[in-house]
Amino acid sequence: MKSLFKYPLFLILISLLISPGFSQKIPEPKEILGFKVGADYHLADYHQAIEYFNILQKNSDRIKLLDEGKTSMGQTMTYAVISSAENISQLEKYKQISQKLALVKGLSSQKAKELSQKGKAVVYIDGGLHASECAPAQHNIQLAYNLVTADDPKSLRILDDVILVLVFANPDGMNLLAEWYRPHVGTPYEVSPMPRLYHIYAGHDNNRDSYTANLRETRNITRIVNQIWYPVILYNHHQTAPFPARIWTPPNSEPTNPNVHPLIVRWQNMVGSAMGAAFDAQGKEGAISRIVFDTWYPGYVTQVVDSHNVISILTETALYRYATPHFFTVHDFPEQYKDLTMSAFYPNPWKGGWWRLGDAVDYCLTASMSVLDVASKYKERLLYNKYKMGHDVIQRFEKEPPYAWIIPSEQRDPGTASLLLNRMILLGIDVYKTTKSFRCDGIQYPAGTHIIPMTQPFALFIKNMFEAQEYPDLRKYPDLWQGLINPKKFEGAPFEAYDMMGWTLPYQFGVEVHSANTPVHPSMEPVQEVQFQEGTIEGKPGYGYLLPHEENASFTAMNRIFQKETQILWAQSSFSSNGKKYSPGTIIIPSQHVSRSFMEGLSQELDLKITGIKHRPRTQTRKINPVRTGMYKSWVPSSQEGWTRWIFDKYEFPYTSLRDADIKAGKLIQNYDTIIIPDTYRPEVVIHGHKKGTMPPKYTGGITLKGLRNLKQFAQKGGTLIFFNRVCSLATEYFDIPVRNVLKGVKDEDFVCSGAILRMNFDNQHPIAYGMPEEAGSVFARSCAFEVLPSFEKNKKPQSVATYSEESLLMSGWIYGESLIQQKSSILEVPYGKGKIILLGFPVQYRAQPYGTFKLLFNSILYANSEN
């Protein structure tokens, strides 16, 4: 036996046994978790997943853990980088190659080809964005183990060619889900839905935040993708396959967003086909494509990167509920799937049977390995195509408009304009500031104007964000979607997108931008951070201070001023001071109880331009008092309620969340001045909630009719009720007010507008619309249009604050049947006993995106407890 030590092979085996990368030294997930990944009735939480990843890192040189910021609930967002040990030791080198190819500038085609040969294909894969779709996050754990311990030729090839960036996209939700599911296993409520959002603010809408990046998690992911790794493929796992399919993969359905390079679509189709082939080769039935999920809306984690020349891949694996198994038969299938007919995009129909979390995890693993295999096989081509797409985009906009986007220095809300451009910088867009005045399309712009040239590799993204969307009427293009030998003309109602049809960010933010339709080459320099105005105090505050109502930051200032127990007034009409005219709603702060140093601190922290005045303005004023705000929080969670909390936290509005029991208890006027009923997908849910027996008793029943009566009494005794969007129907149907929603009961054949930007006219002499322009774009998302009915009681007559425009109603997206709502009211103030009801008939705070209409909500709250 001693002679064996002479041979190099034996020494190699010994070195492998003691090597940190040797698979036998690495514990399987079940040894740490206590159960196999995907086991029935078991879910790993984020803490367990990262604990296991740390063990992998200690025992393998194929994995490195990195941190990228905090989550919304304060956890560290840790992700894994997995590749060969050699690649892991040279990550900075490969990052730089990916960045150079993505950003294009300074690279010739030949140099790009050389870098493509030297580089590695960076692939981003995440799981768990939608926490209740739990298989993808669980799959991350198994995928990491499989790759770290693999020794088969295919896996080793992948590890050599590819750098995998593996992300838990919603760590908080992964924990929240496990905390809900575990104690209910084995009870009647094992598969009951969670009674809270699986992201503390956004819930399901965390996958609608990608182009505004309001959430911490979104910003973390954005930095990983657009500032650190520049992947060639981004794969975002989900788990709501169209039943009875077991997984949905690309190709996508229509319509296709036009602001992507055609190579993106070609590669998406190729990756999807590779997935389908892998499923069929492994005997995994039920892979379907080309239905349900389109690529029109760019707010998803996937579609936001398409115009960054990243090949985005979405899959939707089948889900029953959490980790609970379920048996399906063909009798459970929709009628059109019962005969198991084969088709081009569903060639291997699922025949039914048991479906377990482990099955879903296994499908996710097959899909992920397919993506990694494609990235490995076509590494060099993918890397070069990354360069080519960026180069093509730059060349395109050297020759055609828009040549640039110009953002004038004068903005109604400079802070919000700064925010918009800073979010574009975060998303990888180059923003410049001119050093000299220039002229473009007949307009003279001063030095200091911000400009976004379109000669940059991600220019299609800024075009997608800044231009008005023209949603295609698919009825006109049967060839695009029918897939028939002889496409048939379709005569039915217009087709809607999976999500919004128009989203133009300058309209939502209330920011003025101009497209440059002729070439423009001003003297300019790049900026890393945009600041449209610096906070200052102008003038001497003998009497007090003036704050602009147009700026959202002024509301943060007011909330801080309230804490100083200082009087706040709103001007009820326009007035002049020191030769300058001020609009109705101008905020007046008497200086009696507030120091100049405090006001200077506000101006600098909030970038507010505050004006000191010597004398009291000559205008009637409205005294603004602190408001005791309650907001209804249903056990049927609503993303719009969550987003409203996010806005309140951002702008420092105090509020109390009201549950069903709080509203049913009554005596609301003793504790609140205003109560908000946020939007939900079905207004009746507010009254009825979850059905008895479907949830633990605490979570069932809604506010009931008793709670509705208490809300009525609250308003009758002097309180203010604020209803959002669709939930306004509770007021129009149950509160006996002279108002009708003209869209109630209207069929799709007569009206379609599920997500667009419409032109609205505002009465900015009314306190609810103070600070608004006379006309602005606003989000319409299955919203209301009000008609005031005749009333014999003059003091009950509602007052219209905003109406849908008579002309050029559509600003971005799609609307069909617009005559039904033109000149109808979108916001009403309705007297109700001693109090009032405010109907915000469209979502003024939709997904925390329309910063330009936030003040309609803020004004409604502060108006509630104001005094003439």
pLDDT in tens, 458-497: 999 999 999 999 999 999 988 888 888 888 888 888 888 9
Specify whether the CB–CB gap between 417 and 407 falls below 8 A: yes
**What contacts 17, CB < 8 A, 6 or more positions away?**
24, 25
Amino acid sitting at position 3? S
Specify whether the CB–CB gap between 790 and 796 falls below 8 A: no
* Residue 52, Ramachandran bin (φ over 0: left; ψ between -120 and 50: alpha; else beta): alpha
pLDDT at position 15 is: 43
pLDDT at position 24 is: 54
pLDDT at position 2 is: 34
pLDDT in tens, 729-759: 999 999 999 999 999 999 999 999 999 999 9
Longest Cα separation, the chain: 110
Specify whether the CB–CB gap between 676 and 658 falls below 8 A: no
Alpha helices (H) along 60-134: 85-88, 91-103, 109-118
DSSP letter, residue 667:
-
Among residues of the chain, what percentage have pLDDT more than 70? 97
Whole-number Å distance between alpha carbons of 86 and 668:
66
Give, for 89, the enclosing helix (H) or strand (E): none
Specify whether the CB–CB gap between 365 and 237 falls below 8 A: no
Of 710, 696, 714, whose CA–CA distance to 661 is shortest?
710
pLDDT at position 795 is: 73
Amino acid sitting at position 824? K
Amino acid sitting at position 172? D
**What contacts 596, CB < 8 A, 6 or more positions away?**
537, 541
Whole-number Å distance between alpha carbons of 15 and 417:
60
Amino acid sitting at position 386? K
pLDDT at position 747 is: 93
The two beta strands, 76-82 and 63-70, are antiparallel
Whole-number Å distance between alpha carbons of 828 and 831:
10
**Parts of the chain with a pLDDT under 70:** 1-24, 792
Neighbouring-strand partners of residue 758: 778, 810
Quickly count: other Cβ atoms within 10 Å of residue 665's Cβ. 13
pLDDT at position 793 is: 75
Q: How crowded is the C-beta side of 540, counted as CA atoms within 13 Å? A: 3
Whole-number Å distance between alpha carbons of 284 and 306:
29
Whole-number Å distance between alpha carbons of 493 and 471:
15
Neighbouring-strand partners of residue 836: 720, 831
Query: Is omega for the bond preceding 255 within 30 degrees of 0, making it cis?
Result: yes
Task: Using CB atoms within 10 Å of the CB of residue 35, give its burial: 0 to 12 exposed, 13 to 18 middle, 19+ buried.
Answer: middle
Whole-number Å distance between alpha carbons of 784 and 757:
14
Give, for 68, the enclosing helix (H) or strand (E): strand 63-70
Query: Quick check: pTM over 0.85?
Result: yes
